[in-house]
């Protein structure tokens, strides 16, 4: 069967039923792409899924080093400190996957840290994480987040 738009063989056949009226279109791969926002047949499934899951076509890049999500996924390496905020939540998931689900650091911190603003932002993030973990009944994660919160509140920085 030929494409409705040109002479190439049709590879996509779509029947639409609208108010009881059946309409069938037959399209080649090229026109299907244009007409129906159809997925190209030769796209690797992993890329498609990744693009679908993260909902982005134009991937954001880290302002610090230019690392894109695609590059991060390919090598599983961050390019600079700023990546850890710029590539969230993808990088958060990668970390938690690599770390057996652990949700936050605990223990030693550089002695000279005392950035009040960053600490408050962090505290707010921890609170929302805690809420999420509890509502998802992920109590082990919730306990870790609670420990991290205690560290933030207890001392000048999350210091041991």
Least distance from C-beta 17 to another protein, angstroms? 48
Indicate the residue among 102 and 136 with the shorter CB distance to another protein: 102
Indicate the residue among 99 and 132 with the shorter CB distance to another protein: 99
**CA 160/CA 30 separation, integer angstroms:** 60
Least distance from C-beta 131 to another protein, angstroms? 16
> Scanning the structure block, which residue is given the tokens 């002695």?
111
Indicate the residue among 8 and 123 with the shorter CB distance to another protein: 123
Which of these, 152, 157, 156, 130, lies nearest to 141 by C-alpha position?
130
Least distance from C-beta 154 to another protein, angstroms? 14
Q: Are 129 and 152 in contact (CB under 8 A)?
A: no
**CA 33/CA 40 separation, integer angstroms:** 7
**CA 116/CA 78 separation, integer angstroms:** 25
Least distance from C-beta 136 to another protein, angstroms? 17
What residue ranges bind another protein (CB under 8 A)?
64-67, 75-81, 84, 91, 94-95, 97-100, 102-113, 118-119, 121-122, 125-126, 144, 148, 152, 158, 160
C-alpha dihedral sign at 135, 138, 143, 149: negative
Indicate the residue among 22 and 112 with the shorter CB distance to another protein: 112
Indicate the residue among 49 and 80 with the shorter CB distance to another protein: 80
DSSP 7: S
Least distance from C-beta 122 to another protein, angstroms? 4
C-alpha dihedral sign at 50, 56, 57, 62: negative
């Amino acid at each position: 069967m030929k494409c409705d738009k040109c002479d190439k063989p049709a590879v996509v056949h779509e029947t639409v039923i609208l108010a009881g009226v059946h309409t069938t279109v037959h399209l080649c791969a090229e026109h299907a792409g244009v007409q129906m926002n159809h997925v190209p047949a030769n796209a690797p499934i992993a890329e498609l899924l990744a693009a679908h899951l993260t909902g982005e076509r134009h991937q954001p890049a880290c302002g610090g080093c230019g690392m894109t999500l695609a590059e991060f996924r390919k090598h599983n390496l961050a390019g600079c400190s700023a990546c850890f905020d710029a590539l969230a939540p993808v990088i958060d998931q990668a970390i938690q996957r690599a770390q057996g689900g652990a949700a936050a650091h605990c223990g030693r911190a550089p002695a000279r840290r005392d950035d009040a603003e960053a600490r408050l932002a962090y505290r707010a993030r921890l609170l929302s994480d805690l809420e999420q973990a509890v509502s998802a009944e992920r109590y082990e994660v919730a306990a870790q987040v609670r420990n991290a919160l205690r560290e933030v509140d207890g001392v000048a920085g999350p210091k041991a």
